[in-house]
Structure formats: structure tokens, C-alpha cells
Amino acid sequence: MPVEQKKNGCYHVDNTTTKKCLDKKTADKQLAAIEINKNLHESKIVFKGFVYEAVYEEVGAVANDDPTNEELHEYLNAIAKQYEADEVNVEGAIYWFASDYHSGQNSNLYSVLSTSPYHPSRMANGIESEDETTQMLYEALVGKFTNDALADEIEN
């Protein structure tokens, strides 16, 4: 991505949207800033990967990202009383979790979704459409069976 001199005597850095007339020194600085930002972004990705690996090694936080119907029910049934949840809440949380996290037709979660006795209303547009208890159970599933909570913690 070189710095180009235009016919009007202005300088411009290729692949940028700057419309201003830049002097050579400013254009060189802009190019340097772009390169630094690119390298910083790449370093951040490497660092995040390193942090994920280190945390997983330390605490064994690798999630089961394709739990079975039995595993989901076993986990929620064990905690349902503390949320004063009924079977509809459990089935709703499992349905939306499977809907949001399945990885295709060959996954356990797709099978869970396909065989679920829970059928949301036509107006439902995700877990946000459910009551607070169902949403809390859903969040418990996300915390248990995904690495989303850990990813959010690392990003913040």
C-alpha cells in the first residue's frame, strides 16, 4: 500500500478513503499508522489465542460444545429448583440453546432441536421472547456448555 502523488501535487495512501490533500510527510505518517494498526490487530488475535489456551490448560475450561439431549436435561434438572423452573422453562431453554448453538444437521444439538417437544409461538424471535426463568436457564446452558462467557471476559 504505497503513498502516491496525484497530479494536483497532493499525496494519497492507496486503499484509504481519505479525500484530503496530504503533504508527503502526513501521507507517510498515515501509512505508518495503518501498518501499526494492522500489526497490533494481528498481535491481539495471537494474544487472545494464547490467553484462551492458557486459561483452558489452567482450569480445564474447554466446553462440551455439542452436548446431547440427555446431558442438557441432566444439567438443567439438577438446577431447575433453584430457579423455580417447570418443564416448560427447561424445554424452552434447551430449544433456544440448541437453535442458537447447533453446528449443522449432524450435530447432537440439531437432533435436540429437531426432536424437541417445545414449539415456540410464531411471534417468538429467540430466547428474548421467553420469560425470565427460561432466559436464566438458557444463560446457565451457555455458561456450562460454551466458551462464550470466557470469551466475553477476555475481550473486556
* Predicted pLDDT at 61: 42
- pLDDT number for residue 151: 47
Instruction: Give the pLDDT band of residue 70 (cuts 50, 70, 90).
Output: very high
Residue type, 132: E
**Nearest-10 crossing angle of helices 108-115, 87-101:** 130
Check residues 155 and 70 and name the one with the higher pLDDT.
70
137-143-148 Cα angle (round to 5): 125
In the chain, helix, strand, coil percent, each to 5?
A: 65, 5, 30
pLDDT at 136 over 80: yes
Spatial separation of the C-alpha atoms in residues 144 and 133, rounded to whole Å: 17
| Confidence band, pLDDT 50/70/90 cuts, at residue 147 | confident
Report the predicted TM-score, pTM, of the whole model to 2 decimal places.
Answer: 0.57
pLDDT at residue 133, rounded to an integer: 94
> The C-alpha cell of 81 is what?
429448583
Query: Is 1 in contact with 13 (CB distance < 8 Å)?
Result: yes
- List residues bridging with 13 in a β-sheet: 3
Average pLDDT, the chain: 77
